[in-house]
C-alpha cells in the first residue's frame, strides 16, 4: 500500500484542522457552537473545487483584498517558516508589504509577482526578523525587473541613529560594492532606495494616502521606543498589522472594526526553555516583557473583536501550536488563524476566506509591468588595470554570437 505524501505546509493545515475539530467537539457544550477557526473553514476555490490558491490564477474582485503570509516565524528563520512579512493586495491593483524579515524574500519571489509592483514596504521596527531581507528585496528586485525605487516607510527612534532613515541609508552604504557593481550594467533607477520616516509617537495618524488607500500608524511597545502598528483602510475594509508588541491601549483602541487583525502570539516561557534552552529568567523576559503570550493575545482579540484574528510569530509545530491554541481559547472564542507561511486570506464584505498557497519553488522573476530600461554605460565603474589584465581573450569565439544578438535586438 502506497503512503500518501503531503507537503509540510499542507500537512500542517490538515492535521491542525483535525485537531481543531476535535477541540471544538470537546469544548462546545449542549446547544453551544464553538466559533469557526480558519484552519477548519476553507471554502472551495470558485470553479476549481479546491482549498488552495495558485498564484496568478485568480483575479481579485474590485472590492476584494488578499493577504498572503510571506513570513510568520521566529527571529531564527528556517526553511518552513521565514521571519515576519505580510503582503496585502487590493482589487485596485495596489500592493503593500508589511515588514520584510529574514528569509521572506524567497516566499515573495515564489509568488511570481512582478517586482515593480512590490515597491512599497511598511516597517514596524528594526529587528532583523522584521527587516533582515530588505537588502535581498532591494537588490534582487532590482535585478529581477523593478525599474523604479524601492520605497520604505518606517518609524523614527528616540535618537536619529535608532530610526528607519538611519537604518536604510546605512544599509545602502553597507552594500556599496553591490550597488556600484550593478551601475551601468542594468538600469539605474531600480537601485534607488527612498525612505519615508515618520514620528513613532503619533497616534492613528496617516502615513500614506493615495488611490483610495489610507495607512495609519500608532505606537507599539517592544524592546525600545520606536516600534509601531499599522492599519490599512480601503474600500470599507480594514487590515491591521501589529508588528511586535505587548498588549497596549493604542492597539485595542485603533484596531477595532478590523476585518483581518494580525498580532504576534509568542511561545510561553516553558516552551522557550524547552525548545531554545533559555534560562528561566531569559525566557520570562522575552515572552512577557517584549512579546505577547497566547492568553494575552486572546484578551486583545476579545477586546477588538475582528472578523478574523491571526496569531503569528511562533514556529507552527505539533508540540507548540496546540498548547498555544488552547491558551488563546481560554480568553478568546472568535474566528482565528494559527498562521504559518503561505496562508492566504481573501477578504471582502461578504466573507473572510482562508486557504493555502501552492507555489512554484523554481519560479523565475515575473515579467515586469513596465518596459525594460537601458543601462547608462557612463555610470559603470571600470576594473583596475591589474584585474583587467587577467582576462583570457575569448573575443573570437564570442564575436559571432554577440553580432547576431545585437542584430536581432537592434543594438549598436
What residues form DSSP beta bridges with 230?
Answer: 217, 241
pLDDT digits (tens, 9 = 90+) for 159-190: 999 999 999 999 999 999 999 999 999 998 89
The C-alpha atoms of residue 277 and residue 227 are separated, in whole angstroms, by: 27
Domains of the chain plus CATH, in order, are 8-357 (3.60.15.10)
Q: How many CB atoms lie within 10 A of CB 3?
A: 5
Mean pLDDT (the chain, rounded): 89
Measure the CA–CA gap between 333 and 301, rounded to whole angstroms. Answer: 9
The overall pTM is greater than 0.85: yes
Residue-level pLDDT at 50: 60
Grid coordinates 466573507 are at which residue?
351
Question: Do the Cβ atoms of 238 and 323 come closer than 8 Å?
Answer: no
Rounded Cα distance between 227 and 243, Å, is 8
Distance CA 68, CA 70 (A): 6
pLDDT in tens, 48-87: 446 899 999 999 999 999 999 999 999 999 999 999 999 9
Sign of the alpha-carbon dihedral angle for 203, 205, 208, 209 = positive
Helix (H/G/I), strand (E/B), else coil: 61: coil
CB atoms closer than 10 angstroms to residue 56: 10
pLDDT in tens, 186-226: 998 899 999 999 999 999 999 999 999 999 999 999 999 99
CB 146 within 8 A of CB 119: yes
| Residue 373 pLDDT class (50, 70, 90 cuts) | confident
Question: Tens digit of pLDDT for each residue in 115-138?
Answer: 999 999 999 999 999 999 999 999
Interatomic CA distance for residues 316 and 190, integer angstroms: 36
Q: Is the pLDDT of residue 111 over 90?
A: yes
The C-alpha cell at 87 is 503582503
Mean pLDDT, residues 372-395: 92
Amino acid at each position: 500500500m502506497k503512503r500518501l505524501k503531503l507537503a509540510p505546509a499542507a500537512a500542517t493545515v490538515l492535521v491542525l484542522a483535525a485537531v481543531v475539530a476535535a477541540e471544538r467537539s470537546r469544548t462546545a457544550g449542549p446547544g453551544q457552537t464553538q466559533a469557526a477557526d480558519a484552519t477548519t473553514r476553507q471554502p472551495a476555490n470558485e470553479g476549481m473545487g479546491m482549498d488552495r490558491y495558485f498564484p496568478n490564477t485568480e483575479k481579485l474582485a474590485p472590492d476584494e483584498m488578499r493577504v498572503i503570509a510571506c513570513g510568520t516565524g521566529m527571529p531564527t528563520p528556517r526553511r518552513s517558516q521565514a521571519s515576519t512579512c505580510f503582503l496585502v493586495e487590493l482589487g485596485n491593483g495596489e500592493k503593500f508589504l508589511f515588514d520584510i524579515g529574514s528569509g521572506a524574500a524567497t516566499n515573495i519571489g515564489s509568488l511570481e509577482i512582478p517586482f515593480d509592483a512590490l515597491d512599497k514596504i511598511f516597517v514596524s521596527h528594526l529587528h532583523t526578523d522584521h527587516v533582515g531581507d530588505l537588502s535581498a528585496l532591494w537588490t534582487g528586485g532590482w535585478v529581477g525587473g523593478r525599474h523604479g525605487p524601492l520605497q520604505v516607510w518606517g518609524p523614527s527612534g528616540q535618537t536619529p541613529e535608532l530610526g528607519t532613515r538611519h537604518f536604510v541609508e546605512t544599509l545602502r552604504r553597507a552594500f556599496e560594492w553591490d550597488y556600484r557593481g550593478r551601475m551601468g550594467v542594468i538600469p539605474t533607477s531600480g537601485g534607488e532606495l527612498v525612505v519615508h520616516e515618520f514620528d513613532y509617537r503619533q497616534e492613528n495618524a496617516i502615513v500614506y494616502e493615495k488611490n483610495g488607500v489610507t495607512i495609519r500608524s500608532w505606537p507599539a511597545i517592544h524592546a525600545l521606543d520606536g516600534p509601531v502598528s499599522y492599519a490599512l483602510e480601503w474600500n470599507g475594509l480594514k487590515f491591521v498589522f501589529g508588528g511586535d508588541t505587548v498588549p497596549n491601549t493604542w492597539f485595542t483602541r485603533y484596531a477595532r472594526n478590523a476585518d483581518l487583525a494580525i498580532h504576534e502570539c509568542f511561545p510561553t516561557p516553558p516552551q522557550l526553555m524547552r525548545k531554545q534552552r533559555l534560562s528561566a529568567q531569559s525566557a520570562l523576559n522575552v515572552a512577557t516583557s517584549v512579546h505577547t503570550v497566547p492568553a494575552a493575545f486572546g484578551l486583545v482579540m476579545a477586546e477588538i473583536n475582528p472578523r478574523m484574528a491571526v496569531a503569528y510569530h511562533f514556529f507552527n509545530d505539533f508540540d507548540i501550536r496546540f498548547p498555544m491554541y488552547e491558551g488563546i481559547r481560554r480568553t478568546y472564542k472568535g474566528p482565528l488563524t494559527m498562521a504559518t507561511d503561505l496562508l492566504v486570506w481573501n477578504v471582502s464584505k461578504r466573507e473572510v476566506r482562508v486557504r493555502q498557497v501552492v507555489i512554484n519553488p523554481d519560479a523565475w522573476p515575473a515579467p515586469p509591468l513596465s518596459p525594460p530600461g537601458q543601462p547608462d554605460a557612463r555610470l559603470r565603474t571600470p576594473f583596475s588595470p591589474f584585474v583587467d589584465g587577467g582576462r583570457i581573450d575569448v573575443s573570437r569565439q564570442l564575436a559571432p554570437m554577440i553580432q547576431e544578438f545585437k542584430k536581432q535586438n537592434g543594438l549598436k
